[in-house]
Structure 1
Amino acid sequence: MTFSIIGRCPETGQLGIAISSSSIAVGARCPWARAGVGAVSTQNITLPALGPQILDLLEHQHLEPDAALDKALTSNGWSQYRQVTVIDASGRIALFSGKESLGVHNAVKGEQCVAAGNLLSDVRVIEAMVAAFEVEPGQLADRLLAAMHAAMAAGGEAGPVHSAALKVVGDHTWPIIDLRVDWAEEDPIGQLDGLWQAYRPQMQDYLTRALNPTTAPSYGVPGDE
């Protein structure tokens, strides 16, 4: 019921995730990212706790992704129902699909990325995501969304998708991009892309507003002078 890609930009060090699902509000449960640490997608029969636990293990115990993933899965149990992907700040990757992963499922490592999905129309959907990410130019967000569009072009899920999310972390403790479509009757990925195109020219302004309010641009709304 879900497919995702997590990736790293070797030039900026940004880490990010794009994800879509037939379920409502996938962005509330599945994508996790921490600046300078890593990114995690926890899906299938989702246990949201796996995301922050794996990031804590990467950051505080300095485990490699494979070890952090294994420790988190073991400590929580029911690993046969989980599908999890991990990338750390160095670009090292781990992936896991339990034997109870739903329907047609697959997980594939790529260059600075890893994609996974379940209840797919075809295992090649995930391969298409990795291939698209690897060749797409531009910002990390553009590359992640290109992978999502490639997934849909390759068949996507076995049924319709209804939610999508895009999260990217950079140099700050908060996400520099955190966009969600929690429910759409059709084309949540297209709607998510539209949100990104609207947010892209304002992204630096919001960083400026946070870091130096004296130079913050005005948006002309009441009380914003």
Structure 2
Amino acid sequence: MTFSLVARCAETAMFGVAISSSSPAVAARCAHARSGVGAVASQNVTDPRLGPMALDLMSAGAGAAAAIAELQRRGSFMEYRQVLAVDREGGSAIHSGANSLGIWAQAQARDVAAGGNLLANDGVPAAMVAAFLGSSGHLGDRLLVALRAGLEAGGEAGPVHSAGLLVVGEQPWPLVDLRCDWTEDCPIAAVEKAWEIYKPQMEDYVLRALDPRRAPSYGVPGDE
């Protein structure tokens, strides 16, 4: 009931996740990323513990493939889980358990991995990977281009209701964490709109944290 991708920007070393689902609040449970370490999506019959576990393993030096292999050994009910990972070197790996729901598929390349379950067809992840690799610009833009490509390739078998975009940069907190937790309209379009608004202000919020003396105006009534 989810399709997603995890990715690394080779130029900036940013990591990110883009995800959408028919379930509510998918990004809150399934999207995980850590500055300087990697990105992970844990989905299908979700175990949110798998994301931090994989990131801890990669932080300790494991590559994406080794981290996924360790999850397969240590995780519970892994036959129900689908986990995607990308590491600091651009290595990618995927686990899709035998009990993944409905039509499930996966695709990967250097710097990117995509997967989904209860899909309309098995070509959705490959379309996402191709769109990501064919894109340019900020990692947030590229992730959303790929997520949109997945939707246009068929997406889920039914309508999606939630979506999210998570990006980490140099700081220990998320550079971008945008979500649509439920809508009867298109949640991907909602996240795209939020990104359109947030992107021009994004670096200002980092500056406000690091040095508020140099921060620009907040641009709200009463702020001079």
TM-score (norm 2): 0.97
Aligned match of 1:78: 77
Tell me, what secondary structure is at the counterpart of 1:151? helix
Aligned partner letter, 2:217: S
Question: How far apart, in 2, do the equivalents of 1:84 and 1:76 lie?
Answer: 11
- RMSD, matched Cα: 1.2
Aligned partner letter, 2:25: A
How far off is 1:213 after superposition?
A: 0.7
Aligned match of 1:194: 193
How far off is 1:125 after superposition?
A: 1.0
Aligned match of 2:31: 31
How far off is 1:68 after superposition?
A: 1.5
How far off is 1:218 after superposition?
A: 1.6
Tell me, what secondary structure is at the counterpart of 1:116? strand
Aligned match of 1:55: 55
In the TM superposition, 1:135-174 aligns within 5 A as 135-174=134-173
Question: How far apart, in 2, do the equivalents of 1:143 and 1:69 lie?
Answer: 24
CA contact (8 A) 1:32 1:52 kept: yes
Question: How far apart, in 1, do the equivalents of 2:98 and 2:106 lie?
Answer: 13
Identical columns (%):
52
Q: Does residue 4 in structure 1 map to residue 17 in structure 2?
A: no
Aligned match of 2:181: 182
Deviation track 1:14-43 (CA, whole Å, cap 9, x = no partner) reads 110100000000011000000000100000
4+ runs deviating over 6 angstroms: none
Tell me, what secondary structure is at the counterpart of 1:95? strand
Deviation track 1:159-204 (CA, whole Å, cap 9, x = no partner) reads 0000000000111101111100000102100110000000010001
Question: How far apart, in 2, do the equivalents of 1:220 and 1:17 lie?
Answer: 30
Aligned partner letter, 1:87: V
How far off is 1:222 after superposition?
A: 5.8
Aligned partner letter, 1:134: L
Aligned match of 2:46: 46
CA contact (8 A) 1:50 1:73 kept: no
Tell me, what secondary structure is at the counterpart of 2:174? coil
Aligned partner letter, 2:42: T
Aligned partner letter, 1:128: A
Question: How far apart, in 1, do the equivalents of 2:9 and 2:211 lie?
Answer: 26
Question: How far apart, in 2, do the equivalents of 1:179 and 1:189 lie?
Answer: 11
Aligned partner letter, 1:12: T
Question: How far apart, in 2, do the equivalents of 1:63 and 1:126 lie?
Answer: 25
Q: Does residue 111 in structure 1 map to residue 110 in structure 2?
A: yes
How far off is 1:70 after superposition?
A: 2.1
Corresponding residue pairs, total: 224
How far off is 1:113 after superposition?
A: 0.6
Aligned match of 1:87: 86
How far off is 1:224 after superposition?
A: 4.4
CA contact (8 A) 2:91 2:110 kept: no
Question: How far apart, in 2, do the equivalents of 1:165 and 1:132 lie?
Answer: 18
Tell me, what secondary structure is at the counterpart of 1:87? strand
CA contact (8 A) 2:92 2:109 kept: no
